[in-house]
Chain A
């Protein structure tokens, strides 16, 4: 490890990976909530056109990509908000136009090679310069801060747009801010993960987190942990195994998702087999249902004609008889 940290480009790469791992899942959770998981991919396509323009004009590719991705983000939201039937086609024209322009211009520019293009599309360790790290760091800190401050508003708008609008929240404004933050993440992740793979790091950690968490708050916390684990772990593996960093990071995220789904499905089966269901009834237990409430171990049982019923998803579990409570459920 100290050998790796002795290399300047690896210090840069690890720092960039940490920032990407933090910021991508934070923004991604709201894209999942809005069912727009693939939108980051489209922004990545357009960002490539920005990179090409940067290479051609001698401007910093990162900054040029940032401008292109933000313009794309604003266009996506405004086209969506107008709700016309051709919105889908308009987005396709923009995305594929962007990536095609990028590929052609980069191929023609004297300052780049095919390896260069691959690095932008799929990520590479060697390409992260000191200047890049500074820009990327500032952008990532902005994304994390903005997302944390606005997370409840993003949650409300993404969860129920109509209610948010009716209650007076500025829905379009928050959607535009979220789109711009997504564009910034795409650019932050461009060097390490690559423009074609960044969407995976916004979405997959959230998919895994949903298998583990029971609340939105916990989902975000798990997703950030998983995101950092995958991006930093992926960079280390990529160095040892001499593999492209973006692909390695995403494969790690996919592997973690599959392992978690198999594990949680297995656990659920064991739990289903080991818990007793009460006979089904139409009556709904609640604070006003007339049955005696027995709070214990973080939930409430209801004394239903000598049976203790505890709500569990769509049905009630049998938690034994009230008089045997002391045996069945030891109090702490």
Chain B
């Protein structure tokens, strides 16, 4: 854990225009870490992630990628973005390979056509997410979970240092969630650093190595999964945070004790069904 951080935030604020949505964030992301970024709707986790990607404004504090200020030239290619599925246009036909290969574009000048090496990286990214047999399939014909994996492959193809994922498991059925979790576990084993915005910790059990919790624009928890379990158990019924988040795992954490459930799963599985 002593290696130099990929991302380094000290007192960083992000927002839109003049308005800071997340404030005073201290966060270091080190190589090989898989961080789950939790928080209720409106807590600012999307803004934080969008800030890292240059899609929201950096309004103050230190934000560095490999020691260089965020957004300096060529910087964004080292952060691979995995958006939610709906950001992909479905108005034209495109194959998995065609979509994934766009992840390589920022790595070469506009006038240079793709090389053999671009094609190789594209192919191995597709194989890494378990879609090797669907490389020539149309993206629109794939299931929601498979489309999510196409977006992961696109970010992988860009050879980023860290993948930033926006709710990769949201709206994906159970069987596909399991495949997705397997893919993420495989990426983790290969040393991929990931920052995952999520509501559903259950689906990522065993993959996540650290949990960061945002509430009302500030970080209110940062630690490993075991500490997170204790953190939740230490909160009385109707605790001050997560109380807006009624849709997923944390809704009933105060009434269902940790005993008898998985360490990352304060809610029994049947509650999801």
Can you list 15 A-B contacts with CB-CB less than 8 angstroms, sorted by A residue number?
A159-B94, A163-B151, A166-B54, A166-B55, A166-B83, A167-B106, A168-B106, A169-B105, A210-B92, A215-B138, A284-B175, A286-B131, A286-B179, A287-B133, A299-B133
Find out whether the CB atom of A165 lies under 8 angstroms from the CB atom of B106.
Answer: no
Whether A159 pairs with B88 at a CB distance below 8 angstroms is yes
B144 CB to closest chain A CB (Å) equals 10
Given contacts A152-B101, A160-B87, A214-B138, 18 further A-B contacts (CB under 8 A): A32-B91, A33-B89, A33-B92, A156-B102, A158-B89, A159-B99, A163-B102, A165-B55, A166-B76, A166-B83, A167-B105, A168-B54, A213-B93, A216-B93, A216-B98, A219-B93, A282-B174, A286-B131
> With an 8 A cutoff between CB atoms, is A311 at the interface?
yes
Name the residue on B nearest A287 (C-beta).
Answer: B132
Partner of B179, one of A156, A218, A284: A284
- With A152-B101, A152-B102 as known contacts, state yes or no: A34 contacts B83, CB within 8 Å: no
Distance in angstroms from A331 CB to nearest chain B CB is 18
> Any chain B CB within 8 A of the CB of A155?
yes
CB distance from A290 to the nearest CB of B (A): 11
Beta-carbon nearest neighbor of A177 in chain B: B110
Give the residue of A29, A152, A163, A300 whose beta carbon is less than 8 angstroms from that of B83. A163
Q: Does A293 contact B (CB under 8 A)?
A: yes
A287 to B91, Cβ gap below 8 A?
Answer: no
How many Å lie between the Cα of A189 and that of B83 in the bound state? 39
Q: Could you tell me if B127 and A287 are in contact, using CB atoms closer than 8 angstroms? A: yes
Shortest beta-carbon distance, B118 to chain A, in Å? 10
Q: Is the CB of B98 within 8 A of A160?
A: no
Contact of B88 among A149, A160, A219, A300 (CB under 8 A): A160
A288 beta carbon closer than 8 Å to chain B: yes
Q: What residues of A have a CB within 8 angstroms of the CB of B95 in the complex?
A: 214-216
CB <8 Å contact, B158 and A216: no
Binding site for A on B (CB under 8 A): 53-55, 74-77, 79-81, 83, 87-89, 91-95, 98-99, 101-103, 105-106, 110-111, 114, 127, 130-134, 136-138, 141, 143, 145-146, 151, 154, 158, 173-176, 179, 182
- Beta-carbon contact of A216 and B92 below 8 Å: yes
For the complex formed, measure the closest distance between the CB of A124 and the CB atoms of chain B, giving whole angstroms. Answer: 33
Interchain residue pairs A-B with the least CB separation, the first 4: A156-B102, A282-B175, A168-B76, A166-B53
Q: How far is the CB of A223 from chain B (nearest CB, A)?
A: 10
A61-80 interface code vs B (CB 8 A; 1 in, 0 out) = 00000000000000000000
Interface residues of A in 1-50 (CB under 8 A from B): 29, 32-35
Residue of chain B at shortest CB distance from A213:
B93
Query: CB distance A163 to B154 under 8 Å?
Result: yes
A162 at the interface (CB under 8 A from B): yes
B176 touches A284 (CB 8 A): yes
Interface string of A302-319 (1 = CB under 8 A from B): 000000000101100000
The CA of A159 and the CA of B100, in the complex, are separated in Å by: 12
Q: Hey, which chain B residues are within 8 Å of A288, CB to CB?
A: 130, 182
Residues of A within 8 A of B53 (CB): 166
Interface string of A226-270 (1 = CB under 8 A from B): 000000000000000000000000000000000000000000000
Q: Say how far B98's CB is from chain A's closest CB, in angstroms.
A: 5
Contact (Cβ within 8 A) A153 B105 = yes
Q: Is there a chain B Cβ closer than 8 Å to A275's Cβ? A: no
